[in-house]
Amino acid sequence: MIFVQGLTKSYGTTYAVRDLSFSVDRGEVVGFLGPNGAGKSTTMKILSGYLPADAGEVRIAGFDILSQSLKARSRIGYLPENVPLYPEMRVAEYLRYRGALKGVRSRRITEKVEDALELCSISHVRNQLIGTLSKGYRQRVGLADALVNEPDILILDEPTIGLDPGQIREVRELIKGLAKRHTILLSSHILSEVEMTCSRVLIINKGQIVATGTPAELRERSGIPCSGSIRMEIQTADRKIAEAVLTTLQSLKTIASASIIEGIQASSSASGWTRYEMIPVSSSSSGDPRPALFEEAVRRGWKLRELSAHETSLEEIFTSFIARIPATTATKEPAKP
């Protein structure tokens, strides 16, 4: 649905994106990640037809974004980072106006506006002035605007920026629902949101793709020593017992390393708890080491309060890939006289 090949855009002597290539297939929800200034918003503006590229090819649903601009843009619903709404218009009035601008046939505008209002759960504010709405509801109106022409593709640039936690959760659930009917390219700084919403991730830095894949695939390629760890919390009477438990954990064949991360008790109180973190042996044929750890705890009479797997976060993965490229700005070489 989205095909990008050799995309390049510069501002003066500075590259925003440089020889960028990627694709998004029908039905995918793809997260577009990168630090500030990496080129995410520039790329999305080019994909949506708001900004021309210096070089490269962009095809939207098979249509070239430059030579077949109207056909390409009719397949897109675009939500920019800062939604340009008209505060003096009422919600339904604004959506009818936007539907007409996007070429929705007059006899179908009412139907499409009603669908967008319902999908975005804003039917109850349909007659309210946009300027009186909260930030969360304005974001919903922006999403309804993107949906009113029933596009094949949604391009969402920071859709939850500026929202409180409750509003973020609501918009995230809305996007999950939209994923059943649309191909979605989503930019966000909230990495947990991307991990919960997206089936695949593109990481961009200095205007170039540095990694792509599912969160699980990126974990494997991140270079982080282990894709996950095991955390175990055991009741210990004092420091001596806590350290004895650590020695036992370090001696297990399925554990590569173990350490105490919280709660060594220096007193003789029997109510103290110590938390341990263990890195499993990656080549172990026994698979998940937690059953063996539980059996060891039972055999030794340890009192457990936690035994859980802790996966490497998307934030750690993101940081590991970004750190491979210096954070300096890519610039053009000066033209020869």
Predicted local confidence at residue 267, as pLDDT: 42
3-state secondary structure of 166: helix
Averaged over 196-211, what is the pLDDT? Answer: 89
Going from the N-terminus, what domains does the chain have, and what CATH number goes with each?
2-75+151-221 (3.40.50.300), 228-311 (3.30.70)
Q: How far apart are CA 255 and CA 293, in angstroms?
A: 10
Please, which pLDDT band fits residue 284 given cuts at 50, 70 and 90?
Answer: very low
Residues 6+ apart with CB under 8 A from 94: 85, 86, 130, 141, 145
Tokens of 50: 């708001």
| DSSP per-residue string spanning 46-101 | HHTTSS--SEEEEEETTEETTTTHHHHHTTEEEE-SS----TTSBHHHHHHHHHHH
Q: Among 160-164, 192-196, 282-286, 307-311, where is mean pLDDT lowest?
A: 282-286
Does the pLDDT at position 30 exceed 90?
A: yes
Which of the pair, 223 or 26, is modelled with greater confidence? 26
**What is the dihedral angle through the alpha carbons of 283, 285, 291, 292, rounded to the nearest 10 degrees?**
-80
Burial 51-69 (b: 16+ CB within 10 A, else e): eebeebebbbbebebeeee
Q: How buried is 117 (Cβ within 10 angstroms: 0-12 exposed, 13-18 middle, 19+ buried)? A: buried
Predicted local confidence at residue 176, as pLDDT: 83
Residue range 93-113, pLDDT digits in tens? 999 999 999 989 988 999 999
Predicted local confidence at residue 165, as pLDDT: 81
Burial 242-260 (b: 16+ CB within 10 A, else e): beebbeebeebebbbebeb
Residue range 65-89, pLDDT digits in tens? 999 999 999 899 999 888 889 999 9
Residue range 220-260, pLDDT digits in tens? 777 565 456 889 999 998 888 999 999 999 999 888 889 99
Q: How buried is 190 (Cβ within 10 angstroms: 0-12 exposed, 13-18 middle, 19+ buried)? A: middle
Question: Which residues on neighbouring strands pair with residue 14, listed in sequence order?
Answer: 11, 331
Does the pLDDT at position 197 exceed 70?
A: yes
Between the two ends of the chain, the Cα-to-Cα distance in Å is: 43
Helices (DSSP H) in the chain: which residue ranges?
Answer: 40-47, 69-73, 91-101, 106-119, 135-147, 165-178, 191-197, 215-221, 239-250, 290-300, 314-322
Beta pairing, strands 63-64 & 55-60: antiparallel
